[in-house]
Homo-oligomer: A and B are copies of this chain.
Amino acid sequence: MALAKESSPVSPRSGVDQEAEYRAQTRLWLRLLACATLIEGELRRRFREEFDFTMPRFDVLAQLDREPSGLVLGELPKRLMVSAGNLTPIVDRLVEDGFITRTPSNLDRRVQIVCMTVEGRKAFRRMAKSHGSWLAELLAGFPADRLDALTGELDALKGAVKDAMQKP
């Protein structure tokens, strides 16, 4: 029988392979995090410099841009994967700046409906265009014919992680 660093009654893998898999998983996670941090930091910096705008605020506008009739406020935390309390000051500021409106629903006075204004939509389009070209600039060095394959692998990864999180 092969050497095993740890007894592993459940898994059929040997301890050595298990350790190797651990390392491969850690490497993957560190690379993933490094890529995301690198790109996100650069995009944030440019948003700030060019438009004096932040990414969370842009993300809110991006969601509302797809919903001409507005969105129930409670829908935003779900779509953006952030906590609800977090959105209050962000929405506050977007209203203050005139990019969106927030009106209570007549049917359920707990509910708020947020909707982009004309100026908000105009500002969003301008920023979205820049966002796209910045991304293209940053990813230009990566072969175009491997983009979809990588996206597919990340999709598989995302699915696997979601499953793992939902099960227990």
Contacts and interface: CB of A to CB of B under 8 A. Distances in A.
B141 A28 contact: no
A90 interface: no
Contact of A26 (B29, B135, B144, B158): B135
B25 A36 contact: no
A28 B147 contact: yes
**Identical subunits present:** 2
Interface stretch (A64-72, A112-120, A148-156): A148-156
A138 B28 CA distance: 12
B41 A154 contact: no
A49 to B, nearest CB: 13
Nearest to A146: B153
Contacts of A29: 39, 135, 139
A157 interface: yes
Given A26-B135, A41-B81, A140 B164 contact: yes
Interface of A: 21-22, 24-29, 31-42, 81, 132, 135-142, 144, 146-151, 153-165
